[in-house]
Structure 1
Amino acid sequence: MTLRAYAPASIGNFAAGFDLMGAALAPLDGSLWGDVVAGEPATEPSLTSSGPYAGFLPADPWQNLVMRTFGLFRKELNGRGIDVPAIAFHLEKHLPRASGLGSSAASVAATLAVCQALTGHPLRPSEVWTLAGRAEALVSGSPHLDNVIPCLAGGLRLQLPDRDGQPDARSLPWPEDLVLVVVSPDFELSTEHSRRVLPRRFELKDTLGFAANLAGFVHALETGDRGLLRRCLRDPLAEPFRAPLVPGFRAAQAAALEAGAWGCTLSGAGPAMFAVAESPEQGHEVADALQGGLRGAGLDSSFRLCGLDRQGTRLLA
């Protein structure tokens, strides 16, 4: 029996929530925007791939995140005395790597969904999150969860302090009418490189500003205070250091705000960026402004208008 799992694109470091908050994306046109992993029991583990970005994957299957995630899953279950059969995987790679769109998280999440389904769901959701973070660390160098948790569970998720040694995250009430305008410049920027430009220690005033902004963001969502939400849709902590890595970002950001966007910042570690608009019509105007700013720096780009993917990773019929 072959199972197929879909995992959506996602925004990590969602505006106010550096390393703590992320959102799963669903295009407004109803299309799927993410990776698909198929799997079936086999005599030996294997991986084939297709899709527009398959040509950018490692030539050695065991260097691919799908197989490396399977290896982590198998080792975890073997340690619990549970045998995991070999699985033949096929990856449909629809998200570009090093894009700021949660490409690695999508491959990891879809792989874990297939592994879980083929073995009777032996891991609790929080244990799947932990394993997904470990798989992400193979690429980024650290087990951050702001992409993998929303990718797996859907919605806009805020990571909380661990509970009983397991990660904990809660869904936040994002307004359904707001549009996420996601623009992807045509170049790569690895998470590992983007993390290297951050200081090892932030100034106290900066961390206090970050905490106040995040608290204001969450309060605005919980109370429906749109004025406060608009004020807190920013990244005061990481963006000042990462913005120079994306040519034309400041010009694009300024143009988006001039076009009426509520806020605009990098998606994840970049180079993708997103802005918030009040309607699809305004979303197109904001997208034009963002793309114009990037063209001024010599960068082509593509865009999508999105809402939240409330389902997260799921099996396909």
Structure 2
Amino acid sequence: MQKVSAFAPASIGNVSLGFDLLGAALAPIDGTSLGDSVTVSPAETLTLNVSGGFAHKLPATPNDNIVLDCYHYFARAMQSIDKACPAVALHLEKRLPIGSGLGSSASSIVAAFCALNHYFDKPFTAPQLLLMMGELEGQISGSIHYDNVAPCYLGGMTLMTGDSQKPVTQLPLLDDWYWIVSYSGLSVSTAAAREILPKQYKINDVLTFGRQLGVFVDALHRKAPADAARVMHDVLAEPWRKSLLPGFDSARTATLERGGLAFGISGSGPTVFSVTDDIDKARAICDYLQQAYVQTEDGFSHICRIPPTGAAITTTTVS
């Protein structure tokens, strides 16, 4: 009998210029486990235990936890292919803050599905699992989108295709870039961040959005970092959402002055990110954001890379 654990990394949704269409996994260069883990163990009855630095922010009742929702969804999917899904003991280690813009719910969902699928001898393929993850994430945000679950699961930077059979594709990475993320310690709900956006956009803004995304994807394939950095500006969400992030404008100015190539909101915020191609500049930006942007003891800043792989599985034999 085996105990299976899955770790799923934090992620940046939107990546500024790719509203709901781009996502990137994150891995701090100092080895910090920036992500959630779910462990599945043999048990006679279904249970869920929660630990970790942000466990106290989750619903007090286990039945309200998204990890149990994942188990019930997975069990129904197993039933649909005439396979049994016995009770298990689930344990969630919650390392990501809720409402942070780092794909917190996506991380829990991805870790849960990966651990369950491996524990039950991989009855579902990677594409099938990704569809399940997107549907569960949609129950939280109100619509199905993959800009956090896809990079969290697959790693790298992902582009959402709109194809129901193959919803995402992975993009080339710029190996010289460092991604500095800074969580202020505050919370922004995805619903509130959606509500603040305009219901209609000017045609010029829509054209700018499409042009920037096209140029960015082309630049990644050509390995042209300067071209990619020049278009990393959000014209659809940031002009409105930055009002929800105290200190955003001053942080942008300061990070660019310290050598940042781009600066933006991670997902719905309040986490912000900066990009640079120099480790010393990355350290200077990270130090600044930790001192000036972080506002509570829950906040943090990390220098990250985009890892080429996402969720990771470990197994332990139990007696």
TM-score calculated relative to the size of structure 2: 0.93
Post-superposition CA distance 1:266-301 (Å, at most 9, x none): 001100010001122101212234345537xx6674
Provide the C-alpha distance between the structure 2 equivalents of 1:315 and 1:192, rounded to a whole number of angstroms. Answer: 32
Provide the C-alpha distance between the structure 1 equivalents of 2:101 and 2:166, rounded to a whole number of angstroms. Answer: 23
Provide the C-alpha distance between the structure 1 equivalents of 2:230 and 2:274, rounded to a whole number of angstroms. Answer: 13
Give the C-alpha shift of residue 82 in structure 1.
2.5
Provide the C-alpha distance between the structure 2 equivalents of 1:144 and 1:89, rounded to a whole number of angstroms. Answer: 26
Per the alignment, residue 109 of structure 1 pairs with 110
After TM superposition, list the pairs within 5 Å mapping 1:1-317 onto structure 2: 1-162=2-163, 165-291=164-290, 293-294=292-293, 301-317=299-315
Provide the C-alpha distance between the structure 2 equivalents of 1:257 and 1:185, rounded to a whole number of angstroms. Answer: 18
Higher deviation after alignment, 73-82 or 100-109: 73-82
Post-superposition CA distance 1:103-124 (Å, at most 9, x none): 1111000000111012222222
Change (3 A) 1:89 1:257: same
Provide the C-alpha distance between the structure 2 equivalents of 1:102 and 1:175, rounded to a whole number of angstroms. Answer: 22
Change (3 A) 1:276 1:148: same
Provide the C-alpha distance between the structure 2 equivalents of 1:208 and 1:200, rounded to a whole number of angstroms. Answer: 17
Question: Is the contact between residue 26 and residue 307 of structure 1 (CA under 8 Å) also seen in structure 2?
Answer: yes
Higher deviation after alignment, 268-277 or 115-124: 115-124
Change (3 A) 1:2 1:299: closer
Question: Is the contact between residue 289 and residue 301 of structure 2 (CA under 8 Å) also seen in structure 1?
Answer: no
**Which consecutive unaligned segments of at least 5 residues does structure 1 have?**
none
Letter matched to residue 45 of structure 1: L
Question: Is the contact between residue 8 and residue 309 of structure 1 (CA under 8 Å) also seen in structure 2?
Answer: no
Provide the C-alpha distance between the structure 2 equivalents of 1:104 and 1:203, rounded to a whole number of angstroms. Answer: 32
Q: CA RMSD in A?
A: 1.6
Letter matched to residue 276 of structure 1: V
Provide the C-alpha distance between the structure 1 equivalents of 2:38 and 2:74, rounded to a whole number of angstroms. Answer: 15
**Which consecutive unaligned segments of at least 5 residues does structure 2 have?**
none
Letter matched to residue 9 of structure 2: P
Give the ranges of 4+ consecutive aligned residues of structure 1 lying more than 6 Å apart after TM superposition.
none
Letter matched to residue 186 of structure 1: G
Change (3 A) 1:57 1:186: same
Question: Is the contact between residue 177 and residue 278 of structure 2 (CA under 8 Å) also seen in structure 1?
Answer: yes
Post-superposition CA distance 1:46-84 (Å, at most 9, x none): 100111111111111111010011111112222333321
Provide the C-alpha distance between the structure 1 equivalents of 2:157 and 2:283, rounded to a whole number of angstroms. Answer: 23
Question: Is the contact between residue 185 and residue 294 of structure 1 (CA under 8 Å) also seen in structure 2?
Answer: yes
Question: Is the contact between residue 182 and residue 293 of structure 2 (CA under 8 Å) also seen in structure 1?
Answer: no
Letter matched to residue 81 of structure 2: R
SS of residue matched to 1:161: coil
Letter matched to residue 305 of structure 2: G
Question: Is the contact between residue 190 and residue 269 of structure 1 (CA under 8 Å) also seen in structure 2?
Answer: yes
Letter matched to residue 246 of structure 1: L
Higher deviation after alignment, 48-57 or 27-36: 27-36
SS of residue matched to 2:179: strand
The percent of aligned pairs where both chains have the same amino acid is: 37
Question: When the two structures are aligned, how many residues end up with a matched partner?
Answer: 313
Higher deviation after alignment, 67-76 or 149-158: 67-76
Higher deviation after alignment, 62-71 or 198-207: 198-207
SS of residue matched to 2:72: helix
